[in-house]
Structure 1
Amino acid sequence: MVKADLLKNKMKIKIVENSPYIVSGGVPLYEQTIITDEAGHTRDLVDEKEITTRETYTLCRCGQSKDKPYCDGTHNDINFDGTETASKKPYIEKAEIFEGPQLRLTDAPEFCDHSRFCLRSGGIRKLIQESNNPEAKQTAIEEAMICPSGRLVLWDKETGKPFENEFEPSIVLVHDDQKRCQGPIWVRGGIPIESSDGTLYETRNRVTLCRCGKSDNKPYCDGSHWMTAEEKLKFRKKWGLNEE
């Protein structure tokens, strides 16, 4: 086993009941900002800056710390309810499948952090239907691969393999410039996430965790950092999430 694998195996995010995320194993921590194109569609994450961290550090989960992104104990003062409500079923068992000529899309809406990367050029579903067109195919691939939450995964129908970036194990604090708010905690590169009950969530290449304390799908982000209750309800009804 190479050194990189040894280091990765020490990395973990532990969720503490009604308390912060404890990050161990020296996981690199960055800040990035969502940028938009001329049409106002989100396109990329840029301005990466590394934050100096220790081998183990705690990230705020309630959204009220005065020492963000780190926890300062405020969760105790506000009686923060961090109850985890997300399912631990594997992604592929939750995902709907959409077929195009050359691409297959798997989509698990409950993971959506509403960063809006899938809307450019008419949206990813339209693009996969046009995937015989090289430009449409490439744009669809770009949109799926940058989806921070891992809601969307695009597959090559010829090879059966997913299109995925090779991320170093790391955490990104996302800032949503367009919505003028702090976005989710983007976990990249297959870092294990341990529930407060000691079980593990499925380890994935990319997921987004809530850091505002308002998500209805904790520990995952559901866009509550900027969406209204009405907008969330509309989204959940659209995808049948209230029926679960």
Structure 2
Amino acid sequence: MYIMAKKEGLSVEEGSKMAPEKFYIKIAADGPYLLYGNPPIDQEIILPNEEGSAWVYQKGKHFETNENPVYLCRCGFSKHKPFCDGAHKHADWDSTETASHRPLLENAEVIEGPTMVLADNESYCAFARFCDAYGRIWNLVERAESEKERELVRREAGHCPAGRLVVWDKETETIYEPPFEPSIGIIEDPGIKVSGPIWVKGGIRIEGADGKSYEIRNRVTLCRCGQSSNKPFCDGTHASMRFCDDIPLEMRNL
């Protein structure tokens, strides 16, 4: 099952809704993300459960901004993260947008259980690891029948910041999406000692450098290490390269 809604010529993922028009992100060619509308920007710190698995987000530092637009770093070299300081002009990075404009879940793997269906597009994995909390979600959905089991599936899918995991009820075909207001999260992952992507919540439109908008989704993660192979979206590379806000790029792999 996958349905793509249309709104004013823009594609909106089923189960999501578009934020008010004042909120949007424009990707500058060879430059930063231009964030319009002044949505709140906060650190989102991944914290573990008693077994050490990713379980909750805790609000960290709030970033106060008055500019419109706000310039957010996407090259990974800024010394004023999450904001741009112009470092991209001299940095050795590839700003090319390589992600498809096709619906994220159009070619997703579909896993059907007795009461729920899970769709998964691994290319958009942000390596937040909530999907492994109490049994891997791909196994959980195949046996979920009780409300407790169903809620765990909804929880693990809903905590995926990238929205690579989407779950719906088989009988009603109702898609479960967390109720997000337009906002920006700067993910920090102390469990693996890395800084994660920019978490775009609440259906904020993202416009590429070519002027074409990507599919509008309730939850999206944008690369901020500068090394994703699926730009502008995060593909988890920040974890393998040990990207960290306070560690210079040239020292991260030492």
Tell me the TM-score normalised to structure 1 length: 0.88
What residue in structure 2 maps to residue 77 of structure 1? 90
Identity %: 44
Between the two proteins, the alignment pairs up a number of residues equal to 225
Deviations 1:3-40 (A, max 9, x none): xx998211110111121000011121111100011211
What residue in structure 1 maps to residue 50 of structure 2? 38
Aligned CA RMSD, in angstroms, stands at: 1.8
Is there any run of 5+ residues in structure 1 with no aligned partner, and where? Answer: 230-244
What residue in structure 2 maps to residue 236 of structure 1? none
Superposed displacement of residue 120, structure 1:
1.5
Whole-Å separation in 1 of the counterparts to 2:125 and 2:18:
31
Amino acid corresponding to residue 227 of structure 1 in structure 2? S
Superposed displacement of residue 216, structure 1:
0.8
Pairing of 1:1-244 with structure 2 (within 5 A): 8-54=20-66, 55-227=68-240
What residue in structure 2 maps to residue 234 of structure 1? none
Larger relative helix fraction: 1
Deviations 1:99-128 (A, max 9, x none): 001110011111111110101222001111
Amino acid corresponding to residue 20 of structure 1 in structure 2? P
Superposed displacement of residue 133, structure 1:
2.9
Whole-Å separation in 1 of the counterparts to 2:28 and 2:108:
28
Matched residue of 2:167: which SS? Answer: strand
Is there any run of 5+ residues in structure 2 with no aligned partner, and where? Answer: 1-16, 243-254
Amino acid corresponding to residue 173 of structure 1 in structure 2? I
Alpha-carbon distance change, 32 to 16 in structure 1, aligned in 2, over 3 angstroms: same
CA contact (8 A) 1:150 1:207 kept: yes
Whole-Å separation in 2 of the counterparts to 1:7 and 1:105:
25
Amino acid corresponding to residue 209 of structure 2 in structure 1? S
Amino acid corresponding to residue 56 of structure 2 in structure 1? D
Select between 5-14 and 134-143 the one with higher mean Cα deviation.
Answer: 5-14
Tell me the TM-score normalised to structure 2 length: 0.85
Matched residue of 2:105: which SS? Answer: helix
Deviations 1:205-231 (A, max 9, x none): 0010000001111100111111259xx
Alpha-carbon distance change, 156 to 42 in structure 1, aligned in 2, over 3 angstroms: same
Whole-Å separation in 2 of the counterparts to 1:56 and 1:227:
31
Q: Highest relative contact order (Cα 8 Å, sep 6+), 1 or 2?
A: 2
Whole-Å separation in 2 of the counterparts to 1:149 and 1:7:
17
Whole-Å separation in 1 of the counterparts to 2:193 and 2:70:
26
